[in-house]
Structures are given as C-alpha cells and as structure tokens.
Chains A and B, each alone.
Chain A
Amino acid sequence: MNPMRPGKTILVQREVKPLDFLSAGETASEFKETLKSLGISADLCRKTSIVAYEAEMNAVIHGGGGEIILKLDEKSITIVAKDQGPGIENVNLAMQEGYSTAPDFVREMGFGAGMGLPNIKKYSDELNIETEPGKGTTLRALIFLDGSGGE
C-alpha cells in the first residue's frame, strides 16, 4: 500500500548528540513508528530503521553528533545523516565489512566492528556519501516504496 499522494512529502528532522549511547537509536525508532503509522509495510519500516540506526550510530560514534532526516514522498523513503565530524578518509575502505576506526568502548557495546556502512548499503536501494576530511559527512540513502531495489 502506498499512502502517499503525489506531491505530498513528509519530513522529520532530529538532532543526534555526540557519544550519547543511552539515546542513540531513539531517532531511528521514531522514524520506524512514524512510517508504521502511515501504513508503510513492515519490511520497508524495518529497512528504514536499520539504515537510520546505523547512520545514527555513526553520527554518535564518529561524527561528533549531527542530524538525521527522514523524508517520505510518493516514490521513496530518504534518510539523510549529516555531521560536522572528521569525515571519512577512504570511503571504499569504510564500505568493506570489518574495517573500523571505532574505539574499543564502542565495540564493547556491540557496534563499531566495521559493519555500519555495509549494513546501510545492504538495506538501502541507493546510497550516496559525500565526505571531506576535517569537514564532515553527509550520507543519503534511498529506499523505494515499490520494492524495486530488491532486498
């Protein structure tokens, strides 16, 4: 079911605090609930929340905080994560499973094992990362409502 009328867009924007592991994931949970309440399928809600959750974790761990945006239009769900952190030095390397620059205390929480960006890629249909060392990173992930992007 597609609850979106042409031309209508829903936008939710939330701030992510740096190194706040108690609140991390709240935004992704909220996005999931928002989409669920709009009648978006469980599968798409799950994909979106995983993408948003990993992006939120990256902003919490590496980005010095930032903001996460959920956008929904008649064709797709978009997750945008922006931070003013140190940037990603080598995006190709960061996309490899197991490559991580996260500190040990993050790993002890079950994250930071180099699966964040690969997971975001896995669950999104289109992914674009703009990053500049010293300036920050903007990640934009798209999930198509008609499921045309596969898993």
Chain B
Amino acid sequence: MRLGDIMNLLEAELLNQRVDLDIELESAFAADLMSDVLALARPGSLMITGLTNIQIMRTASMIDMPAVVFVRGKKPPLETIELAGKLGIPFMITYKTMFETCGLLYEAGISPIHCEKR
C-alpha cells in the first residue's frame, strides 16, 4: 500500500515536507514499547505508536522502518521532528486511536508481523 493511500485512509496529517508518498508498505508494527519494536518489527514495515519522543525516530532508523504514524493526535516535540528530517523518515499524525488505526490498515491488506512462540 502506498504511503499516500495510508495517509488518506487514516485521515492523517503529514508533518514533514518533500516526502515520497509512493513508498510501498506491506506490513506494520504497532507498539508504545520501543524495545518490542526492536525485538519484533521487520525492516520495511510501518511503525504505529502513541509515543513521540526522539527515540521513536532512532528506533525506526535502527530497524529500517521507512515511516511512522503517531496515533491519538499526539504531536511530536521539536527534537523528534528535527531528527526525522535528518534521517529522512516521513511521519504523520492521525486522530484515530491505535486500535482503529490498526483495524483500518489490517482491513486494507497491511500484514502483521509474525511473533514467534518462545
């Protein structure tokens, strides 16, 4: 699914300029715990989170996640916006909850990440 289509579906507001809305995303991972993102998310998947601190962008960058959606209308602080710009990570705000965001994307064909039994 195109990033631009995800943005429309979530009625989200894109916060950085000069972003490639044609990036294709096939999977997503939603969490407020960045260590779980680091443990389980796959490169190329969309990050959905309600946290907005600078470490969100660091985490996305470490695991090669190409875009971030902030749910529940959370606005990131300046340092997060600046780092996103530096790292070239597009990010958007949706006023939908994490549950609704995930539901809409799942319905639209975005795949979950497989969590292995351990």
Contacts and interface: CB of A to CB of B under 8 A. Distances in A.
Interface stretch (A69-77, A85-93, A116-124, A130-138): A116-124
Q: Tell me the interface secondary structure of chain B in the complex.
A: helix
Interface in A92-123: 109-111, 113-116, 118-119, 122
Given A46-B64, A50-B63, A109 B35 contact: no
B35 A54 contact: yes
A115 B62 contact: no
A59 interface: no
A110 B59 contact: yes
B35 A111 contact: yes
Interface of B: 31-39, 43, 49, 51, 53-56, 58-59, 61-64, 79
B63 A21 contact: no
Interface string A25-58: 1001100100000000010001001100110000
A50 B65 CA distance: 13
A81 interface: no
Contact of A53 (B33, B62, B64, B79): B62
